[in-house]
Homo-oligomer: A and B are copies of this chain.
Amino acid sequence: MKKIVSLGEVMLRLSPPSNERFFQTHQLQMEFGGSEANVGTALAFWEHHVIHLTTFPNHEIGKAAAACLRKNGIDTQFIQFEEGRIGVYFLEQGAIQRSSKILYDRADSVFTKVDYKNFNWEEILEGTDAVHWSGITPALSQECADFTLHVLKEANKRNITVFGDLNYRSNLWNYGKKPHEIMPNLMALTHVMIASDRDFNNCLNTEFDDFESAKAGAFNKFENLKYITKTNRTSISSSHNRISASLSSRENIYHSREYDLTPIVDRVGTGDAFAGGLIHGLLTNEPQFAIEFGMAAGALKHSVPGDVLLCSEEEILEIVAGESIGKIKR
């Protein structure tokens, strides 16, 4: 059991049942999710001690959100409750040629006003093995960027391994700063990055032509950086994808097998499940295992409704081993 700290916003997720469109539905499934907490939940399911840091409104729905994380095994004792609103996202599940659609209503959520000084960092980081952040957080507000930077500095002071999922999204970053004004400082404090060449170009304001050159550039620029990992996804349709991943150290590259996924139940959070699996693998095993475990976790997530993986370590290992795929387990 490792101790891992994740940080980031957790939103109220509202989605029509089955394949209904927003226009026709009269009912919404209600869940909670957010990229970093999704990663944390996967890790908590595998018996790690995961602390998630975030802020919720101090009303009934904020408390339900925290309770949901707690149910999933997250240590929620450091979560802050403040006056304000919860970020919301509306998800319409696609099918066949029709794309899934997400409408965000997350502006001005309480989390965007997070103040890192409200957290007891000594207690939170004591004995911690890993910290996980994503590029979504510094995109939300200056307070969120400061919060992220503070965590990473404190983690580096204590030799805690820092995992970061760059996860560039152009429709965030509305508070006046450009990614390349904020991200490089965070990346310099990160040891394992999940990133594509597009992520690197957006965060560093570079123009790398391909992943290979971006990877080389990143290893060159960031001396703390030990691993870069990248997923490859082929979208035949909303219902049918193929995915694989690679993990690169400065010396080696490790490839996962490819998964053929059809019909997809829920694509949201599959990258987070992969990230969780990779962190688990790197904290407890060799790189080749880590990339296979991560990809198997990511593949399995396509079969689970909701934002989070909810699969045990044994279930992932069976997929890694290629055993009993599609058999009924009794």
Contact = CB atoms under 8 A, between A and B. Distances in A.
Interface of A: 14, 18-31, 59-61, 63-64, 67-68, 70-73, 85-86, 88, 90, 92, 94-105, 107-108, 169, 171, 235-241, 259, 261-265, 267-268, 299-300, 302-306, 310-311, 315, 318-319, 324-330
A263 B64 CA distance: 27
Given A70-B70, A98-B315, A262-B239, A330 B19 contact: no
Contacts of A305: 18-20, 24
Contact of A61 (B22, B71, B240, B306): B22
Contact of A268 (B24, B70, B239, B328): B328
Contacts of A95: 263, 265, 303
Nearest to A259: B97
A267 B302 CA distance: 20
Given A19-B303, A85-B107, 13 more contacts: A19-B305, A21-B304, A22-B60, A60-B92, A60-B101, A85-B105, A94-B326, A94-B328, A95-B265, A96-B303, A100-B328, A237-B326, A239-B263
A294 to B, nearest CB: 14
Q: How many copies does the complex hold?
A: 6
B326 A238 contact: yes
A103 B325 contact: no
A248 B330 CA distance: 29
15 contacts: A18-B18, A21-B304, A23-B60, A23-B67, A59-B103, A60-B101, A67-B73, A85-B107, A88-B105, A94-B328, A95-B265, A95-B303, A96-B265, A101-B330, A102-B330
Contact of A96 (B25, B108, B264, B311): B264
Contacts of A30: 25-28
**Counting chain B CB atoms within 10 Å of each CB, which of A24, A86, A259 scores highest?**
A24
B98 A304 contact: yes
B63 A23 contact: yes
B60 A96 contact: no
A274 to B, nearest CB: 14
